[in-house]
A and B are shown apart, each in its own frame.
Chain A
């Protein structure tokens, strides 16, 4: 539905997008995640014809968007966009939602019907005559969503639509996004710096870093099998350790990290430099006496550096020659009875270790 071919954009001397190539399928929710300044908003603005790329091509439904006159307007009217900042026209809620329909010359009767339906969907029925600017940020953003959707666009672009909203409003917008995609089959491209939002909503995720898609895949692929150290760091993998493959075979490799060996599932050959990515949730911490079955697992002795609360969990860092971080429940920490400076063993299965090539990109 949306084809991006080598799309480039710069603002003065700053290169924002570097030959971005991707494809968003019809009916798909595609989330663009990435740190601030990675080019997410610029990409959506280029697709929505609000900016012009320096190079490359964007196609919507097979047609190039880089046209002029009526054709350009026709393509733009295939799309709707919701912006990060909730913004309403200085008019009633009804008039706000009706704007796009009025631009298209739709009859007043049809407008009344469609606006009524749209307000029902967003849970703001009865708000027709309210001044839109008196609404809360969350309500205003729902009006913006209704305003974009009432024209029944084939493509809905959402630029960090929940970035300024409270958690309840975020939940409502997310539910609406899923509902719109499910009920209307609208292709949705949503940018967010909240990677978990991408995970909750998207069929596929594109991780945009430094103006290029570092990885595109299903949420499961992106969150469990990051393709680079940078993606791993962005998606919140706390333990990223560099090492060299010293033995490989039957799917399990041994990686040397400054004298300590770790067994990992790895496709890399002997002598290759790799980064090991281990989610802190996958690390267990045991007393050195060593209860439990450690057969086949990595078990590294180390010293507890710190135990810090993090929400309902505790974040425990252990020095094993390199620092490993584990997330444990308070109850687990209490039952282990560990304190800072004590000797422990960090244990994890080879399958919890995801190896990526150490070289950048």
Chain B
């Protein structure tokens, strides 16, 4: 018990003194997950719109599949990307394995189903009268899509927050394709908050694990608070 309390005190010190090691890992975590979320947003929003407003055979089956993939295990995504970018894989020539880029790709793939599914929910949740009104006012197809998305913007924003939360909190894919490397260069290192917590805990460095954990929770809380503030503006 004493050890845990001491861990928290030490964690506080690491955060307050802006420990360079801890801050570097936190910054890398945010950057990797932020870029992955942006990439996933750029794919999932148009994809979600196409599925929601499209009429094609197998549409319902596709939505069911996407919803099933919400619970896609992170290590499975990690393994899949690992197989694709490992030296013997089809994209091995790109030499992406154990780079932040590989982690971004894995996290993008990981959050894509949930962000696409929630985008479909967000768009289908727009009042049918609003959709009729847009048609009735003479919207072109593009004007219609843009305006429905504007109506669903807060729900889509919440989708982005969920995606970011899942990306920054996953550890399985990050460790498989990132490798938890601490190199001299910021952009060549792949140690992020979750992989660092995993490592530090296994090494018995509890105060550092707690500090990293508190930062991870604070980032998640901060993102959600920011989204809530925007939604209530």
Chain A interface residues toward B at CB < 8 A = 45, 48-50, 73, 76-77, 79-81, 83, 85, 87, 89-91, 99-100, 103-104, 144, 147-148, 151
Contacts and interface: CB of A to CB of B under 8 A. Distances in A.
A147 B136 CA distance: 11
B150 to A, nearest CB: 7
A76 B136 CA distance: 7
Contacts of A81: 132-133, 136
B136 A80 contact: yes
B151 A103 contact: no
B137 A90 contact: no
Contacts of B150: 89-91
A151 B138 contact: yes
B129 A73 contact: no
A50 B138 contact: no
Contact of B136 (A48, A85, A89): A48
B135 A50 contact: yes
Interface string B64-97: 0000000000000000000000000000000000
A99 B130 CA distance: 12
26 contacts: A49-B135, A50-B132, A50-B135, A76-B138, A77-B138, A80-B137, A81-B133, A81-B136, A85-B127, A87-B127, A87-B129, A87-B130, A87-B133, A89-B130, A90-B153, A90-B154, A99-B134, A100-B137, A103-B137, A103-B138, A103-B140, A103-B143, A144-B133, A147-B133, A148-B137, A151-B138
B135 A89 contact: no
Interface string B36-78: 0000000000000000000000000000000000000000000
Contacts of B138: 73, 76-77, 100, 103-104, 151
A104 to B, nearest CB: 7
Given A89-B151, A99-B147, A103-B143, A79 B129 contact: no
B225 interface: no
Interface residues of B, number: 18
B139 interface: yes
Interface of B: 127, 129-130, 132-140, 143, 147, 150-151, 153-154
Nearest to B130: A87
Nearest to B133: A87
A148 B136 contact: yes
B135 A83 contact: no
Contacts of A77: 138
Residue of B132, B137, B139 with most partner-chain A CB within 10 A: B137
Contacts of B143: 103
A99 B133 CA distance: 10
Contacts of B153: 90
A151 B136 contact: no
B202 to A, nearest CB: 49
Nearest to A96: B133
A100 B132 CA distance: 13
Contacts of B140: 73, 103
A91 B138 CA distance: 19
B201 to A, nearest CB: 45
A80 B143 CA distance: 17
Given A104-B138, A148-B136, 8 more contacts: A45-B132, A48-B136, A76-B136, A80-B137, A85-B127, A87-B133, A89-B130, A103-B137
Contacts of B129: 83, 85, 87
Nearest to B132: A50
Nearest to B126: A90
Residue of B132, B143, B151 with most partner-chain A CB within 10 A: B132
A83 B138 CA distance: 15
Contacts of A50: 132, 135-136
A103 B139 contact: yes
B206 to A, nearest CB: 47
B127 A79 contact: no
A85 B130 CA distance: 10
A151 B133 CA distance: 13
A189 to B, nearest CB: 13
A77 to B, nearest CB: 4
B151 to A, nearest CB: 6
Contacts of B133: 81, 83, 87, 89, 144, 147
Contacts of A89: 130, 133, 147, 150-151
A49 B135 CA distance: 9
A293 to B, nearest CB: 58
A50 B151 CA distance: 20
B132 A90 contact: no
A147 B129 CA distance: 14
B137 A83 contact: no
Nearest to A147: B137
A45 B128 CA distance: 13
Contacts of B127: 85, 87
Given A83-B129, A87-B129, A103-B140, A76 B151 contact: no
A332 to B, nearest CB: 47
Contacts of A103: 137-140, 143
Nearest to A153: B138
